[in-house]
Amino acid sequence: MKTIVFKGITALAAFLISFISTAQTNRLIVNADQGSVIINKHIYGHFAEHLGRNIYGGIWVGPDSKIPNEEGYRLDVMKAIQKLEIPNLRWPGGCFADEYHWTDGIGNPKDRPTMINTHWGGVVEDNSFGTHEFMNFAKKIGAEPYITGNVGSGSVDEMSKWIEYINFDGVSPMSNLRKRNGQDEPWNIKYWGVGNENWGCGGNMTAEYYANEYRRYATYARDYGANKLYKIAGGANSNDYNWTEVLMKNIPLNMMDGLSVHYYTMTGSWTDKKSATVFDRETYLETLRKAAGIEELIERHGAIMDQYDPEKRIGMIVDEWGTWYQVEPGTNPGFLYQQNTMRDAHVAAISLNIFNKHADRVHMANLAQTVNVLQAIILTNDTDMILTPTYHVFDLYKPHKDATLLSHHLVTEEVSYGKEKLEALNVSTSKSPDGTVNISIANIHPDKKIDLDVVLRGISAKSVTAEYVTAPSIDSYNTFEKKEVVKKAAFKDFKLDKDNLKIAVPANSVLMVRVK
């Protein structure tokens, strides 16, 4: 039927029809009056491991450093993190956690023993940043601490005593030791990880073996006073669904609150990682396709969890995610220092949009990592600091924290290079407690502005504000010489007409549009 109509029309009419259909391609319907799931603010969490220049030189320079600091914490970095209002910070690892012995990191720093950081560059760890330094830092930046205990090379007794040291309010050997080290009050930590990647660097265990170990460690991870630990079991390597099945089956559900999963966006492969800054458009789409691949993992691990925990009480904790490229040329391969381009901003936007969408199961996520490591939000040199494109996306996405997830329907054109093809727009929608509707949009098209028609159902919109992150090209990044090539700015290219909002979404941009 369509063909017959087209045969009879003029070239001009055909052009008009194709124009109209193109103009209608990009459409978003937001159901502002529907939604019950809260996007847990902990989805916007971060991760700082003793790895490279993340802690040392990044967060901590020590009180005697000539770099401006507050009690040893690097001031520029601390202020930038404070501004981001991060909900939680995971520490001390990663792989480092399973060779970390917490008693080495307490007491007078001059008396603390050193160790070799065998995972990360074989450097000497002087333990000057330990439990007190971490807990104080978490307090200063207003983040909840999330500690990962040592299962791989530690003992049940060691982990149990660490929790007693941190949380017990009475008189006991560990609480007395804490007091002697200058901290009278217990810190009452909530988030506690029982090991990390125990299928690999955390002990090369089988799922069955780890499930038993988890039961033993979790038994002696005690609650003190009114404080209830939120215990997180070490989860699967990416798509190892058997790991999730075995843990859900063998660990009594009242012994665990969260189950972690790790997912890295690798361009190329583990053995042939590609550059963080030099890439063509097909590789760019490959990276973004792989980033979006986390959704399949969430759905499949989630489906297994649903069988055992249909109420979704147990959180899926994506406590390591982000891009992993070749290290920057000339840097220590064990330090995982990489640049961060506008491509990473899109990875962050796509990943956070997916976590929001699955907020009924994903209760926490932690970007890997905070300073100078992998998809860092901040890069430093000796005296200076830059904010990465990824930092700006986290800044932009603040309104989604603790907002109600809204359903939406998106129709978007595609973008394609070589054998890669993806939807050009990627969206998440939520409603803040004050009724403001938040629409985050990534336009991954490198050079095409996209006119998006938004229908706002269930809200009488009166005003719109917007901000965006963009850059001259998909491989743009900030340097110590040019710090604001990629930055956040006010955005005005939209028009509100009753419940219809037209947005001219710039090429290669991430937007946050807020409708009241």
Least spacing, CB of residue 129 vs ligand AHR, in Å:
16
Judged by CB under 6 A, which of 294, 368, 376, 442 binds ligand AHR?
368
Comparing CB distances to ligand AHR, the nearer of 49 and 344 is 49
Residue length of the chain: 516
Q: According to the binding rule CB under 6 A, does residue 125 interact with ligand AHR?
A: no
The residue from 43, 49, 151, 154 that contacts ligand AHR (CB under 6 A) is: 49
Contacts 24+ apart (CB under 8 A), 103-106: 103/158, 104/130, 105/129, 105/130, 105/131, 105/133, 106/130, 106/131, 106/132, 106/165, 106/177, 106/181
Determine, following the binding rule CB under 6 A, whether residue 347 of this chain makes contact with ligand AHR: no
Among 133, 144, 213, 320, binds ligand AHR (CB under 6 A): 320
The CA distance from 176 to 172, in Å, is 6
From 310-318, 368-376, 387-395, 418-426, span contacting ligand AHR (CB under 6 A): 368-376
Residue 95 in the binding site for ligand AHR (CB under 6 A):
yes
Taking the complex as a whole, how short is the minimal distance between the CB of residue 433 and ligand AHR, in angstroms?
Answer: 34
Q: Cβ closer to ligand AHR: 213 or 319?
A: 319
Q: Do residues 189 and 147 make contact, with C-beta atoms less than 8 angstroms apart?
A: yes
Q: Is 89 in the site for ligand AHR (CB under 6 A)?
A: no
Comparing CA positions, the residue from 356, 376, 379, 436 lying closest to residue 46 is 376
197: contact with ligand AHR by CB under 6 A: yes
* Nearest CB to ligand AHR, comparing residues 94 and 302: 94
Q: Which residue of this chain has its Cβ atom nearest to ligand AHR in the complex?
A: 94
Instruction: Name the residue nearer to ligand AHR (CB basis): 197 or 257.
Output: 197
Q: Is 326 in the site for ligand AHR (CB under 6 A)?
A: no
Contacting residues for 64 by C-beta, under 8 A, at least 6 apart: none
CB of 192 to ligand AHR, least distance (A): 16
Q: Is 273 helix (H, G, I), strand (E, B) or coil?
A: strand
3-class DSSP state for residue 355?
helix
Are 114 and 124 within 8 A, CB to CB?
yes
Taking a C-beta distance cutoff of 8 angstroms, is the pair 334, 373 a contact? no
CA 38 to chain centre: 17
Residues annotated catalytic, as ranges: 197, 320
- Contact between 99 and ligand AHR (CB under 6 A)? no
Cβ closer to ligand AHR: 100 or 284? 100
Q: Which of 31, 131, 196, 470 binds ligand AHR (CB under 6 A)?
A: 196
The CA distance from 425 to 413, in Å, is 8
Q: Per rule CB under 6 A, is residue 154 in the interface with ligand AHR?
A: no
Cα atoms found within 13 Å of the Cα of residue 196, Cβ hemisphere only? 24
Q: Which stretch binds ligand AHR (CB under 6 A): 74-82, 90-98, 207-215, 293-301?
A: 90-98
Nearer to ligand AHR, 164 or 320 (CB): 320
User: Which bin fits 421, alpha (ψ -120 to 50), beta or left (φ > 0)?
Assistant: beta
Residues that bind ligand AHR (CB under 6 A): 49, 93-95, 196-197, 320, 368-369, 374
